[in-house]
Structure 1
Amino acid sequence: MPLPLSKRRLRAAWIVAVAVDAIQIPVEATGLLGWIVGAGLDVVTMAVLWALVGFHWAFLPSFLTEWIPYLDYAPLWTLAVLIATRGRGQDSMPAPTLPPHP
């Protein structure tokens, strides 16, 4: 089972994913230069999310499909963070229970 993440890391991962998806849609619509900038942004995003959340398989399809023209208009980084962080908050982990005293 993956380790729980702090609220700060979860919040940072969500902010990065949503911001990158919001930036990429208008930037990549500008043509070849926008695609190059978007590709560089994808490499940086992959590294940052990996540092914040740790390795998760959901990041690989998002990274690869962002390189396909017109498919990159979907908010794939946000979807990947949703999948990678699902149930990993510290509050979602059950508290350890102690055995009853006799």
Structure 2
Amino acid sequence: MPRPLSKTRIRVAWAIALTVDAIQVPADLSGPMGWFLGAGLDLITMVVLWAMLGFHWAFLPSFVTEAVPYLNLAPLWTLAVALATRGRGGEGLPQPGTPADPKPPLKILNPED
């Protein structure tokens, strides 16, 4: 089972994927220079997302299909991040070997007591 990810990592990964997809749609429509920009951006995106989230099979088809002209108009990085982070948000989960609630509960004082 993949390791849980912090909410911050998941949010940053989503932000990266959405930003890259938003940049690539107009870049692909601008011609060959946009395609070269998109290819370099795809390589950087794949490396950054692997470093943040770890390996996931969804990143490979996203990287390959981004190289096909006009297929890049679909938000494939966003879909890949959705698949890679699904069910991995475990920031609030206790880790094995640690107490579930390290802080004592707050006692509410009733003025009538």
**Same fold by TM (over 0.5)?**
yes
Q: Deviations over 1:60-101 (max 9, x none)?
A: 0000000001100000000000000000001575876x9xxx
**Bigger radius of gyration among the two:** 2
Match of 1:6 in 2: 6
Q: CA deviation at 1:39?
A: 0.3
Tell me the matched-pair count: 97
Distance 1:47 1:63 in 2: 10
Stretches of structure 2 that go unaligned for 5 or more consecutive residues are 100-113
Separation of aligned partners in 2, 1:13 and 1:95: 23
Aligned to 1:79: 79
Identity %: 64
Change (3 A) 1:73 1:92: farther
Once the two structures are superposed, the pairs formed by residues 19-34 of structure 1 within 5 Å of their partners are 19-34=19-34
Aligned to 2:106: none
Q: Any runs of at least 4 consecutive aligned residues in structure 1 with deviations exceeding 2 A, and if so which?
A: 91-96
Separation in structure 2 between the aligned mates of residue 35 and residue 14 of structure 1, nearest angstrom = 23
Post-superposition offset of 1:43: 0.2
Letter in 1 for 2:40: G
One-letter code of the match for 1:18? L
Within 5 Å, give how 1:19-98 maps onto structure 2. 19-91=19-91
Q: Helix, strand or coil for the counterpart of 2:69?
A: coil
CA distance, structure 1, for counterparts of residue 15 and residue 25 of structure 2: 16
- Alignment partner of 1:57: what SS? coil
The normalised TM-score by structure 2 is 0.80
Residues 60/47 of structure 1: CA separation in 2 closer, same or farther (3 Å cut): same
**Pair 83,25 (structure 1): closer, same or farther in 2 beyond 3 Å:** same
Shift of 1:46: 0.3
